[in-house]
Structure 1
Amino acid sequence: MLTVVGLGSLAERLYTDLVTHGSASAHALAERSGTDPDETAIALDELAAHGLIAPRTAPDSGPGGPSGGGRPGAASHFAAAPPAVALEALLAGQRHALRQAELSAAALAEAYRAATSDGAHRDLVEIVVGPAAIGHRVEQVQRGAERELLALVTGQYDVVPADATGAETEAVERGVAYRVVIGRQALGAPRAAETLFEALGRDQRIRVADQVPTKLIVADGALALVPLTEPGENGEPAAMLVRAPGLVKLLVILFEQVWEWAHPLGLEAGLPVLGEAPAGQPVGVDRRILSLLLAGSTDQAVANQLGLGLRTVQRRIKAVMELAHAETRVQLGWQAHRRGWVQD
Structure 2
Amino acid sequence: MLQALGLGPAEEAVYTTLLAHPTASAQELVRQTGLEEAETTRVLLDLAARGLVAIAAETASRVTDPADSGAGPQPARYRLTPPSVALAPFLVEQRNALHRAETAFSMLTEQYRTTAAHPAGSVMEVVVGVEQVAHRFHQLQRGAQWELLVFLVGEPIAVPREAADASESFALDHGVDFRVVAAKNYLDVPDVAGDMRAAITAGLKLRLVESLPLKMVVSDRERAMVPLDMTDSGGEPSAIVVHRSGLLTALVHLFEKEWAQARPLYATTTGVQAKAKADQRPTEGELEVLTLLLAGISDRRAASQLGLSVRTVERRTRRLMDLAGADSRLQLGWHAARADWL
Instruction: Give 1:89 shift.
Output: 0.8
Give the Cα separation in 2 of the matches to 1:284 and 1:160.
Answer: 40
C-alpha separation in 1, matches of 2:73 and 2:336: 76
2:11 and 2:47 in contact (8 A); partners too: yes
Tell me by how many angstroms 1:110 deviates: 4.5
1:77-96 superposed matches below 5 A: 77-96=77-96
Q: Which residue of 2 aligns with 1:149?
A: 148
Deviation at 1:66, TM superposition (A): 6.3
User: What residue in structure 2 maps to residue 304 of structure 1?
Assistant: none
Aligned: 1:220 with 2:220: yes
Unpaired segments of 5 or more residues in structure 1? 69-74, 290-312, 317-344
2:174 corresponding residue in structure 1 = 174
Instruction: Report the counterpart of residue 159 of structure 2 in structure 1.
Output: 160
- Once the 2 structures are TM-superposed, how far is the Cα of residue 33 of structure 1 from its aligned partner? 2.7
Q: Residues of 2 paired with 1:178 and 1:252: CA distance?
A: 14
**Is residue 141–residue 168 contact of structure 2 (8 Å, CA) maintained in 1?**
yes
Q: Share of identical aligned residues, percent?
A: 35
DSSP 3-state at the match of 1:266 = coil
> How many Å separate the matches in 1 of 2:289 and 2:232?
32
Larger Rg: 2
Alpha-carbon distance in 1 for matches of 2:127, 2:161: 19
CA contact (8 A) 2:197 2:266 kept: no
Distance (Å, rounded) in 1 between the aligned partners of 2:86 and 2:212:
53
RMSD across aligned positions (CA) = 3.4
Partner of 1:137: 136
Higher helix share: 2
Q: CA separation of 1:103/1:253 partners in 2, compared to 1, >3 Å: closer, same or farther?
A: closer
User: In structure 2, how many angstroms separate the alpha carbons of the residues matched to 1:37 and 1:231?
Assistant: 63
Mean CA deviation greater in 4-13 or 244-253: 4-13
- The equivalent of 1:37 in structure 2 is 37
Distance verdict in 2 for CA 1:210–1:113, change over 3 Å: closer
Q: CA deviation at 1:274?
A: 5.2
Shift of 1:284: 3.4
CA offsets per residue over residues 62-104 of structure 1, 9 Å max, x none? 4876657xxxxxx432221221122221111112122222333
Instruction: Provide the C-alpha distance between the structure 2 equivalents of 1:102 and 1:3, rounded to a whole number of angstroms.
Output: 20
Partner of 2:262: 262
Compute the displacement of 1:257 (Å).
Answer: 3.4
Residues 223 and 248 of structure 2 are in contact (CA less than 8 Å); yes or no, is this contact kept in structure 1?
A: yes
Query: 2:338 corresponds to which residue?
Result: 287
- 1:114: Cα distance to partner? 5.2
Look up the match of 1:102.
102
Question: Which one-letter code corresponds to 1:11 in the other structure?
Answer: E
Which SS does the other structure have where 2:13 is aligned?
Answer: helix
What's the secondary structure of 2:265's corresponding residue? strand
Contact 1:152 1:216 (8 Å CA) reproduced? yes
Partner of 1:210: 210
Query: 1:193: Cα distance to partner?
Result: 2.8
SS at match of 2:214: coil
**1:1-344 mapped onto 2 (5 Å cutoff):** 1-45=1-45, 47-48=47-48, 50-56=50-56, 59=59, 62=63, 67=73, 75-113=75-113, 115-118=115-118, 121-162=120-161, 164=163, 166-230=166-230, 234-268=234-268, 271=285, 272-273=288-289, 275=291, 276-277=294-295, 283-289=334-340
**Distance (whole Å) between structure 2 residues aligned to residue 96 and residue 83 of structure 1:** 19
| Stretches of structure 2 lacking an aligned partner (at least 5 in a row) | 64-68, 269-282, 297-329
Q: Deviations over 1:228-278 (max 9, x none)?
A: 234997443111111133111211232233334433211555654451359
Query: Residues 22 and 227 of structure 1: is their aligned pair in 2 closer, same or farther, counting only changes over 3 Å?
Result: same
* Aligned residue type for 1:148: E
Provide the C-alpha distance between the structure 2 equivalents of 1:49 and 1:163, rounded to a whole number of angstroms.
Answer: 46
Shift of 1:199: 0.6
Q: 1:129 Cα shift?
A: 2.2
1:151 shift after superposition: 0.5
Q: Distance in 2 between matches of 1:5 and 1:65?
A: 41
Is the 2:153–2:185 contact (alpha carbons within 8 Å) kept by the matching residues of 1? Answer: yes
State the SS of the aligned residue for 1:164: helix
| 2:6 and 2:90 in contact (8 A); partners too | no
Q: How many residues align?
A: 283
The letter of the residue matching 1:284 is H
The verdict on how the C-alpha distance between 1:188 and 1:109 changes in structure 2, with shifts beyond 3 A counting, is closer
Tell me the distance in 1 between the aligned counterparts of 2:188 and 2:49: 55
